[in-house]
Chains A and B, each alone.
Chain A
Amino acid sequence: MRFSASLALLLSLSALHAEVAMTTEAPASTVRCVYSGTDGHCVEPVLKSGRELVITVLGQGVAPSVTASPAQAYALAKRSAIADGYRQIAERVRGVQVEGQDSVKNMMLVQSSTRTSVEATVRGANILNTTFKEGLCEVEMEIALSYTQFSR
């Protein structure tokens, strides 16, 4: 009796888990991934056939300390933020090349340096939203990747 009850509980739990898994699976053909370089909470989605992957990034730029007008400060900070957004998109799509160098002297770490670089060509990125507050401009950008772009 106790065995059959535990078996029924186990079966109901597995069925419930299966239902939750089915409901959490994205039914739409677009997979969204929010990534801001600082939160790092994005789970890496996989680009599948017939689906579109949308990557959203948040580029940040700072206005120069010396500008002719607040409008110029805004324009320059926005351009810098757009460049940062493009960098994040390139890092997400193309990947980052990382080089590390540690110098050890007499069994002690003397110097440690890390160098990251990315070089890419980006097309089709869109600016979704722009905010400017206290000299910091944030630009939300997105790029839609389709399976056919990479399967050519």
Chain B
Amino acid sequence: MRSRNGNCPFVYAIFSLAAALSLLADDYLIGYRLTTRNAQIIDESLTVSKAMLPCPRDQKTPLLLRRENNETIERLLKREQTLFLEYASVQPIRLKSNETLNGTDIKSLQTLTLPTQCYAVEFNDRLVTITLLQHNNEK
């Protein structure tokens, strides 16, 4: 039976389901750091930690990733690191660069850091939804 509002009940149901699922998701703190020397990567680290306190629910657009064989969030992010970094780079990125010219010898060292932010991570059977929850600089 169709309601007087057309398909609106379905839309409300989908939105309420998404809201309920987002409230059930776990919060993770994820940070990233990349160090390059003379245009070559010398160090790269992606740190993942489960949040001890729930984060404010100021949600951004989610990122959907395919999950294989019940893998953990660490393994999933390692496999899909490029996709995740593209998603996470909407937030402010810190950059520190030093270049030294000594005679004809040039050395450059750059550190690019994605500040640790809170993400809501919701595991399904074959899909993981990752949602950026807050921007520290906007608070």
| A contacts, CB < 8 Å to B | 60-64, 75-76, 79-84, 86-87, 90-91, 111-123, 125
Contact = CB atoms under 8 A, between A and B. Distances in A.
26 contacts: A60-B39, A62-B38, A62-B39, A64-B40, A76-B41, A79-B85, A80-B36, A80-B41, A84-B39, A86-B93, A87-B110, A90-B95, A90-B97, A111-B102, A112-B102, A113-B103, A115-B101, A116-B97, A117-B97, A119-B94, A119-B97, A121-B94, A121-B137, A122-B92, A122-B95, A123-B90
B36 A115 contact: no
Contacts of A114: 100-101
Interface of B: 34, 36, 38-41, 44, 82, 85, 90-103, 110, 112, 137
A110 B119 CA distance: 54
Contacts, number: 85
Contacts of B41: 61, 64, 76, 79-80
B98 A117 contact: yes
B96 A119 contact: yes
A86 B101 contact: no
Given A90-B97, A113-B100, A114-B100, A121 B92 contact: yes
